[in-house]
């Protein structure tokens, strides 16, 4: 499939996990991609894989802290200028941290909010003018199954993902008459890198986590599982999907 031929896409978090898999999926389908991350080594690995795949001529990588308003303003403007416009934004960047809620510091809480929720807002705000100019722009944001189902020790993380989900619904309605679509993916039971070490408390009761096992397959799925859904949502195949979330968890929360 070449659903992204002629399409220009900005992906955050392209240095690892689902963001990285999404970059390669869109490149494989003919798209031009700018991807940003704070992980310089990860971006280098993404570029090296693109070179091996023969898609490096359609990829640009850049360091960017999505929680820094000035950096986002400059970075998005550079991406749009380099691409000559923007057709889709994929806000894959985020962090996962865990703690007992009664032991959660304000700094811990604010760090998660700043990166996950505020970072998504800043990237979207700066990208919206370019996305609206196309008349068919798409924003794909990252919620999580934790936004709708109980994930113990992850209250702060879940709050950020619930906020992203509500934010996505609001902008989907606000800009619907201008052709913009906004959708969330809600991954769960995905081996995305950050799920390998969520920083659970040393005394965590793992019996509370037993229900987080997927019903399908032999364990957690790889990032490509989510990247394929994102590619569908950001392409014309998702043209009638907006203001909702797609849960991708192998039946963990049936």
Given a cut of 80, is residue 217 above it in pLDDT? no
Domain 8-248 fold is Rossmann fold (3.40.50)
Q: 15-19, 96-100, 162-166, 196-200 — which is least confidently predicted?
A: 196-200
Q: Is 34 helix (H, G, I), strand (E, B) or coil?
A: strand
Beta-ladder partners of 36? 12, 62
Sorted by sequence, the CB contacts under 8 Å of residue 203 that are 6+ apart come out as none
For residue 28, count CB atoms less than 10 angstroms from its CB and return exposed for 0-12, middle for 13-18, buried for 19 or more.
Answer: middle
122-160 per-position pLDDT tens digit: 999 999 999 999 999 999 999 999 999 989 999 999 999
Q: Which residues are catalytically annotated? A: 157
From the list 87, 123, 93, 79, the residue with the least C-alpha distance to 3 is 87
97-119 per-position pLDDT tens digit: 999 999 999 999 999 999 999 99
Q: Is 26 helix (H, G, I), strand (E, B) or coil?
A: helix
Domain boundaries, the chain: 8-248
Q: How many Å apart are CA 139 and CA 10, to the nearest integer?
A: 10
Q: Which two tokens stand for residue 27?
A: 């490149």
Q: How many CA atoms within 13 Å lie on the side-chain side of 178?
A: 16
Q: Is 63 helix (H, G, I), strand (E, B) or coil?
A: strand
């Amino acid at each position: 499939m070449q659903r992204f031929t002629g399409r220009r896409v900005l992906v955050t978090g392209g240095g690892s996990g689902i963001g990285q898999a999404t970059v390669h999926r869109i490149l494989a389908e003919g798209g031009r991609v700018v991807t940003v991350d704070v992980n310089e080594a990860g971006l280098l690995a993404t570029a090296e894989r693109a070179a091996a795949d023969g898609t490096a001529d359609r990829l640009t990588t850049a360091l960017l802290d999505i929680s820094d308003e000035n950096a986002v303003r400059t970075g998005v403007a550079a991406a749009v200028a380099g691409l000559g416009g923007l057709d889709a934004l994929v806000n894959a960047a985020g962090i996962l941290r865990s703690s007992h809620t009664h032991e959660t510091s304000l700094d811990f809480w604010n760090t998660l909010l700043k990166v996950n929720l505020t970072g998504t807002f800043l990237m979207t705000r700066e990208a919206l003018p370019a996305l609206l100019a196309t008349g068919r722009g798409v924003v794909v944001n990252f919620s999580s199954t934790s936004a709708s189902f109980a994930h113990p020790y992850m209250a702060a993380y879940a709050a950020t993902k619930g906020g992203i989900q509500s934010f996505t619904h609001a902008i989907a309605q606000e800009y619907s008459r201008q052709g913009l679509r906004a959708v969330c993916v809600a991954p769960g039971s995905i081996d995305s890198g950050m799920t390998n070490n969520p920083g659970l408390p040393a005394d965590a009761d793992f019996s509370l986590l037993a229900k987080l096992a997927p019903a399908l397959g032999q364990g957690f799925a790889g990032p490509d599982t989510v990247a394929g859904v994102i590619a569908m949502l950001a392409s014309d195949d998702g043209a009638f999907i907006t203001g909702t979330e797609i849960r991708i968890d192998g039946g963990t929360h049936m």
